[in-house]
A and B are shown apart, each in its own frame.
Chain A
Amino acid sequence: MMASSYNAKDEDGNITVSGPGGGALRSKKPENTAFKQQRLPAWQPILTAGTVLPAFFGIGLFFIPIGIGLYVTSNNIKELEIDYTGSDMSSPCFNCSQSFSWNSTKPCTCTIPFHLDQPYDSNVFMYYGLSNFYQNHRRYVKSRDDSQLNGDSGSLMKPSKECEPYAYFEKKPIAPCGAIANSMFNDTLELFYNNPNGTKVKIPLTSTGIAWWTDKHVKFRNPGGSNPNFTAVFQGTAKPVNWRRPVYELDSDPENNGFINEDFIVWMRTAALPTFRKLYRIIQKKDDLLPTLPRGSYTLEVVYNYPVRSFEGRKRMILSTISWMGGKNPFLGIAYITVGSVCFFLGVILLIIHHKYGNRSNSADISS
């Protein structure tokens, strides 16, 4: 009854009050537009086994190859992790790890030998990794002054409140202030290739290009502009409590010193999770013919400064090549394969359902 009058209404929508006087009276009759009558053309998907089948199979067929591709890619990435925390008695760094202090004057050095089974062909990225280090702690994350790091001279001498209690040391403003800077990773890692002939070759490590370009050039700036005299610029500031050197002595290269020191910048980018790695150095590939790191035995020399025992932390050194999708992580590939398979499997179930019950679900049974 309604359906039959439906079309009729569409057509005569413009008729207003008929009869004498109708023109004079402005009718309050609602306008007959699709929008106002809620008749906008619409796509009405109905979710039944039959209609969603293609989606499930499609997703399955689409995801599984992607997953396999990702998995293979991830597996081709070479990665080596060396834990040098030294919590074990047997570990070379055990002695060093026992010292608790941040500012011990005498550096403790330990040497860890390791062996590469495969040659690393492309650029090799050297990371340091920390575990159980809650760089994402709320108060920790906040404890920095971006203005100061951006070279604002006002903030340099008067750090933000957020830096408390690492804003002033003996009435002098700390540069860089805050807990993040204060707890900066200060181990030094060096790699040596043990030539089969017995010599130790120091592997050249590039310390630039490890931070985000925008961080190095926009977010972090040294105060005083291009003034190379850092001592003068940082005059009147104190170094962070845990640091051995002031910030302007982090590197000899003026382009990598002060706030724009890349190690510092990398550290300031707080990690998302308590177990993290941070890029330390890059081993550039030099020769197209030779692998960057050939097979063989190596030695890692650590100047052990960073205490992790207070929080049961671990320290690692990671060597890794990377692919287009980043570091070695098979998870995404597995996820794609799993989701794809589940979709496919559910698709099969739906197919069965559709075959068994699909015919029943026509509209007749509302009235039966």
Chain B
Amino acid sequence: MARESEDAGIAKASKVKRQRKKKTKENKTRIVHANILYDHAKGEENPNRHYANNKIKTTKYTVLSFLPKNLFEQFHRFANVYFVFIALLNFVPVVNAFQPELALAPVVFILSVTAIKDLWEDYRRHRSDKEINHMDCLVYSRADKRYVEKYWKEVRVGDFIRLRCNEILPTDVLLLSSSDPDRLCHIETATLDGETNLKQRQVVRSFFELDCDFDPLKYNSIIECEKPNNDLNRFRGYIIHRSGRRDALYKENLLLRGCTIRNTEEAVGIVIYAGHETKAMLNNNGPRYKRSKLERQMNVDVFWCVIILLVMCLFAAVGHGLWMFQYGDKRPVFDVLSPEGTDLSPIMSAIYLLLTMIIVFQVLIPISLFVSIEIVKICQVYFIHQDMDLYDEETDSHLQCRALNITEDLGQMQYIFSDKTGTLTENKMVFRRCTVAGVEYSHDANARRLAMYQEMDSEEEECTSHGGTLPRRDSVSSHQSARVVLRSHSTKSHRRTGSRAEAKRASILSKHTAFSSPMEKDITPDPQLLNKVNECSNQMDFMRFHSQSMSQLPSDLSDIIDFFIALTICNTVVVSSPNQPRQKVWAKVPSQSPVKTIEDFIKRFTPSRLTSGSNSSSSSNSTLTKLDEEHPGSLDHAFSTVLPCYDGKACTPEEGELRYEAESPDEAALVYAARAYKCSLVGRLPDQVTVELPHLGKLNFELLHTLGFDSTRKRMSVVVRHPLTDQITVYTKGADSVIMDLIKPPDTDTAGRKRQKKIVFRTQSYLNLYAADGLRTLCIAKKILSKEEYACWLQHHLEAETSIQGREQLLFESALRLETNLHLLGATGIEDRLQDGVPETIASLRKAGLQIWVLTGDKQETAVNIAYACKLLDPEEEILTLNADSQVSSSNQNFTDSINPSSSPLSSSSFHTTPFTVHRLGLVIDGRTLAYALDKSLEDKFLAIARSCRSVLCCRSTPLQKSMVVKLVRNKLKVMTLAIGDGANDVSMIQVADVGVGISGQEGMQAVMASDFALPRFRYLQKLLLVHGHWCYSRLANMILYFFYKNAMFVALIFWYQFYCGFSGSAMIDQWYLIFFNLMFSAFPQLITGTLDKDVSAETLQQLPQLYVNGQNSEEYKPYMFWMNMIDAIYQSLICFFVPYFAYAGSDVDLFTWGTPITTLALFTILLHLGIETKTWTRMNWLSIIFSIALFFTVALCYNASCPTCYSPSNLYWTMQRLLQDPLFYLLSGVTPVAALLPRYFYRACQGTLFPSPVQVGRQLDKLPAETRRNILSLSRVKVGSPVHLKPPFLSLTKPSPKGYAKKDQRSFPTSKISQAKQMPVLQTDEEKGQRSPVGPIDSEKGLLDLYTLVPTKVDTLASTKEAPTFAREQQNPVTKDSECLDKTLESSALSLSSWITSTPLLTQADSVQLALPPHGGSQCVKYTRNSEERLSSDHTVHPVHRTEQSLHTTL
């Protein structure tokens, strides 16, 4: 935060300066001249002089400014101001209590500890800055007429710099020249966005035509561009040449600081933004500051402490006033007059005393608590970092704690919001099956192959659990280890040149490239389809040979070949060869830039070329031959040492295999799939894609446009000129829901129409089947444009491209115009495999009482099936499916009107489940319905339903919706939320949640950057939450409580004394002891305990996730506990005060000879108290306690022997020495702590026996020998049984189709049932018992809701957090039962998972009951589906087991 504002401050300052000096210049843009033109004109003349230079300074302080600035920052914290106020109060003689200098000690101590920490951090930043600033780069020097080495910090805006391969960019550079013949420069942006694929950057167009090398001396253009901003994906500007020609600049021309040059020998550019004005630096936000729940709770109690303090002070002040008053005019000798000798009135002395008491009692406000908490948290973070179990061998990364101060929140989570793709799943996309032209190709062999991987994985899983650290999947992937070697040198180069942080990140990523694993690559083709492809290409070859028009090809065959061409080229995949990763396979072809101007278009699309097929084929032939000719020449080229040998069988796999780098893994999966059918992507250039087809050889598709993927359109398209037909073809690939809507309505040809209709219908049904199978579905379509259409579109498109304002929006609209009337080719099903251990983790987390919601952008069927696979939904659950029909209300008018009635179906549907409360509920809701549900008027009802469901699945949700759901739950239910995700679309959700967790996986670093914790894998969440979260929470909670107790107990001693000193503010405890008691004498043991104490061992915590409930319900630190501790503190202080009081009553003891034993006794009591609360005594604990006591006596002895006159007003000369000779002192030390701690000790003992908390039981379990423990745990599991359970394929049906698997998707078939739904909400239930009576929802709605709210206590014990206090102990049995039921899923997960993956789900009959509800204003269709329990399963042998277990379960 501070850093950000600092940066902003710098930027602002420079901006202000700039604006002042250049008033005449326009404000909105930056103008960059080349520096070399102004080399002779030093300083003043250089137009670039006002721009920030490249020296970066991320430090907050300088040597001079450190003290004032740091103090200023620290005083922003209220507590510090308070303590300084108190310290200063001591300088006022009337009210002072201590030696003023001494009173400064604590606050100085606290401030200096923080200052030292800040200084150290700043020093580290300074060192890394220095390192970065002193890196070398080549800058053109006019004097030397060559590039000379300079430090990064010397680079200025307007300099020309030369970049070599693998160099890190020092600034934001406009690319002017590249050694690449295509005028490209490849960069790796992993350090910026974490995306590991290479990005292409283009030389500015004006310099494109330069044949010879770029000569800076000839450069005389002026660049006008945007002001520095932090948008990585935007750069706009012009380059103005001397000739007056203007060329637009895009983000494709800009190389960003921090990126690495790859695959390009040399590039030259001009610096546009430098230093703090670079986009990378502007994006660099400091660490986040969050306040944990525990801290919030603590602050409430700090506030209470303040109140207690004030009450005590007021009490003392009033007491003093009265005490003074009782003497009246007879001034006793001990009542000292004011220094002036005047009489103090009782009221005045009471007021003075009030202030004095605040000083004396200041210890009650735990000054060191804040520092201690910070120290403990740092230690906790350290230990979490060090945990081997959270270390991922594969990526060589451990958990990163990015937010340092919310570790304990991990132990209090109640809701987990998870992304699906990449978080629960591997995000490793595997092509499973496809349908082309309405024919399904099931790819059975492929499925078998995948099943094999599955087994291997699970075997390895066992290996790893025993063998510990063997890299996973190493046996499977030899490529992977090879890759490690290959990548290592690039990592090293990072290390050498980059800053430490950059190098670190790079090394995380280095092993984690965008390459696919063999599992994703080796696709076994479906023989039937393979034959068809062969046949088809044969025919095409034949036709080409005979110069026949391609349109004569049978439409199904042409669809097939188009389908594979689309798979191959409709993407942004970059090809590289395996032996030299990151180096594209380079083939020199006559380069033609994408169509950029109309003239260009006209020039290139001459009629002859457009119409004549033979001509084009010859031209493509010539291209091919040219390509062949070029190969030998390219051999000596540095980048193409390996030829793209791509003849399939002929090539050895090591050499011939091309690597595909894709921005998203499903793109790569599709390309690999196409390759399996011999349609391989061989090369990709900005203007051309080379595809190798069987029999046809290499074909060059001229790439006219790429309309990239975006989440709104949910599709991408490429516009190419087909080399065979020479038609302008648009290939579109996208989500089925959008593509299906864009399919061209059948044309007039009746036969064709029928066929089209059939294809669409069939494809849709297959799509549904795929989705039901948990596959990600994509539709492939194409469209052929006539020349006129294309020209017309191009016109608009070019306008859009060249406009500066609103370019994105215009491009978007342009894309929409193009992607219409598509011709459906087919659809693919890609499997996204679950990550290791996801079902187990989910089961375990759920057992821990966490509600898990999955928010995904995937379609409903896919999501539901993944949810089943990862045990999020249980087959025994009833599934509530909420699909509000948006077709009706999409008009957006009367939006709320149309929603309101849906509330009644919502609530009534939930009512109908109440008779079956034995079943737990799962809620599935789609994005549209979610939009309504998140509406103000409905959100409460939505939450009421969602809360009673065991799991919630939101499909088709947008990033915004995700964050809205999290926000809603967090704010309305007042629960602790954790969001976990891996992609950019999860960022908003991660930021909104109390704790954001990023998966440092494949989809880049955005999620990680936004997160508080970054995990390598989802399953680590289990240990992070259950073990570390629990520990952190219980440690910190106990430490805070102990702190309050300790301070209260200590201060109360002085308070009691006020009754015996006329409320005069006198203290029997010496000022030194009083001030250093907290800081030194009692500080260390609690820090050690707060850092190391383990209430239950890690193993038990993981085996009994129920123990997590402890933290969820805040059971370690409840508000009443604060007061209990206060009462205990009062009791203990009474004992510690009055035992010495009576022991010395009436004797000749003096003030401090009496006070010192009290201090000692208090110390003993406090330490022993900690001993009672300490659960694990390591030698550190012993040492710290012994050290504390030794420290106290050492300090006391030294202090009491040091100076007989120095420590006015108290003087303890030789007191401790005398006390140590006094037997009474030892006698007191014996009896007082025992008496003080007796109640607590007794209570703890009784509690441990009579009503042990689950945690205590867990601890007892720990003590048992390992064998016994295992037996007990397994026994408890056996008790509820471990039924092998089946995953029934859930489909949200409205109507069982005759074939058994086809179903209606209302969104895709808007016309299907709308008419029926138009007038009345329809409630459909599939159920097996049919014993419910339809109940009108209107009259009984309230009652229903009431009834409904009762449900959670019975059904939902796990998830219920509201009835928490009593639940843990009393309802332990049901909890355990519930969770043990879950446990059984764990046992069988592997089996059921594999069976699920290999089996095609069959549907059983399901009776459906339609409840027609009275029309209710709007027309909202809410579908309530309850899936039948009695389903046939693919695996009949398992079935009976399932049944018996089920009955077993009900009897329990």
Which residues on B are within 8 Å of A, measured CB to CB?
A: 93, 97, 327, 330-341, 356, 383, 385-388, 391, 393, 396-398, 465-471, 474, 481-482, 484-485, 488, 491, 507, 1060-1062, 1064-1066, 1068, 1092, 1094, 1098-1099, 1102-1104, 1106, 1139, 1141-1155, 1172, 1175-1180, 1204-1206, 1208-1211, 1213-1214, 1218, 1222-1224, 1227-1228, 1230-1231, 1234-1235, 1238, 1241-1242, 1244-1250, 1252, 1254, 1256-1264, 1266, 1269-1270, 1272-1273, 1275-1277, 1279, 1372-1373, 1376, 1380
Contacts and interface: CB of A to CB of B under 8 A. Distances in A.
A363 B1248 CA distance: 11
A134 B332 contact: yes
User: For A18, A140, A343, which residue has the most chain B Cβ atoms within 10 angstroms?
Assistant: A140
B1376 A5 contact: no
Contacts of B1275: 364, 367
A265 B421 CA distance: 84
Given A272-B1144, A331-B1145, A367 B484 contact: no
Given A329-B1145, A357-B1249, A335 B1064 contact: no
24 contacts: A1-B1103, A28-B397, A36-B386, A42-B1176, A48-B1252, A49-B1249, A59-B1234, A142-B1209, A143-B336, A144-B1208, A152-B1205, A162-B1209, A212-B1214, A212-B1218, A218-B1204, A219-B1211, A272-B1149, A273-B1146, A273-B1154, A276-B1147, A335-B1231, A363-B1260, A363-B1269, A367-B1272
B332 A310 contact: yes
Interface stretch (A6-14, A247-255, A289-297): A6-14
A266 B1153 CA distance: 13
User: For A16, A21, A219, which residue has the most chain B Cβ atoms within 10 angstroms?
Assistant: A21
B864 to A, nearest CB: 29
B1177 A335 contact: no
A12 B469 contact: yes
Interface string A287-314: 0000000000000000000000111010
Contact of B1264 (A20, A30, A363, A365): A363
A79 B1102 CA distance: 67
A335 B341 CA distance: 46
Given A49-B1249, A162-B1209, A343-B1234, A30 B387 contact: yes
Given A38-B1094, A52-B1241, A332-B1228, A325 B1061 contact: no
Contacts of A133: 332, 334
Given A134-B1061, A272-B1150, A28 B398 contact: yes
4 smallest beta-carbon distances between A and B, as pairs: A367-B1276, A164-B339, A311-B332, A165-B341
B1098 A146 contact: no
Given A49-B1245, A63-B1234, A279-B1148, A325 B333 contact: no
A140 B335 contact: yes
Given A1-B465, A44-B1175, A133-B334, 19 more contacts: A2-B1099, A3-B1266, A3-B1270, A15-B469, A19-B484, A29-B393, A55-B1241, A70-B1227, A133-B332, A134-B334, A134-B1064, A271-B1151, A309-B330, A310-B330, A311-B330, A311-B334, A313-B332, A327-B1147, A366-B1376
Contacts of B388: 9, 13, 29-30, 32, 37
B1213 A218 contact: yes
A204 to B, nearest CB: 21
B396 A325 contact: no
Contacts of A198: none
B386 A137 contact: no
Contacts of A363: 1257, 1260-1261, 1264, 1269, 1272
Contact of A342 (B471, B1213, B1238): B1238
Contacts of B1143: 329, 331-332, 335
Contacts of B1272: 363-364, 367
A146 B1208 CA distance: 7
B488 A49 contact: no
A277 to B, nearest CB: 5
Given A15-B469, A30-B385, A366 B391 contact: no
A340 to B, nearest CB: 9
Contact of A150 (B386, B471, B507, B1205): B1205
A102 B688 CA distance: 115
User: For A9, A30, A149, which residue has the most chain B Cβ atoms within 10 angstroms?
Assistant: A30
B1208 A45 contact: no
A365 B1253 CA distance: 11
Interface residues of A, number: 125
Interface string A23-52: 011011111100011101111111111111
Contacts of B1204: 146, 150, 214, 218-219
Nearest to A19: B481
B997 to A, nearest CB: 19
Interface string A331-368: 11001100100110010001001100110011111111
Given A12-B467, A47-B1248, A273-B1141, A367 B1150 contact: no
A146 B1260 CA distance: 59
A368 B1250 contact: no
Contacts of A364: 1272, 1275-1276
A32 B1139 CA distance: 50
B1177 A44 contact: yes
Contacts of B1380: 367
B466 A141 contact: no
Contacts of A218: 1204, 1213-1214
A356 to B, nearest CB: 9
B1065 A138 contact: yes
Given A44-B1263, A165-B341, A276-B1148, A17 B471 contact: yes
A138 B356 contact: yes
A51 B1245 contact: yes
Given A15-B469, A146-B1204, A179-B336, A129 B1061 contact: no
Nearest to B1222: A326
B1205 A147 contact: yes
A49 B1248 CA distance: 7
Nearest to A354: B1249
A215 B402 CA distance: 59
Contacts of B474: 18-19
A17 B470 CA distance: 8
Given A150-B1204, A367-B1275, A214 B1214 contact: yes
Given A12-B469, A332-B1224, A368 B1276 contact: yes
B468 A160 contact: no
A127 B1147 CA distance: 10
B523 to A, nearest CB: 26
Contact of B393 (A2, A17, A144): A17
B481 A20 contact: yes
B424 to A, nearest CB: 20
A99 to B, nearest CB: 14
B334 A362 contact: no
A46 B339 contact: no
A324 B1150 CA distance: 19
A311 B728 CA distance: 112
A17 B396 contact: yes
B1256 to A, nearest CB: 7
A5 B466 contact: yes
Contacts of B1213: 214-215, 218-219
A52 B1259 contact: no
Nearest to A361: B1249
Contacts of A22: 484
B1143 to A, nearest CB: 5
Interface string A48-67: 11111001100100010010
Contacts of B1245: 47-49, 51-52, 350
A225 B1151 CA distance: 29
Contacts of A239: none
Contacts of B1238: 339, 342-343, 346
Contacts of B385: 30
Interface string A152-193: 100000001110111000000000000100110000000000
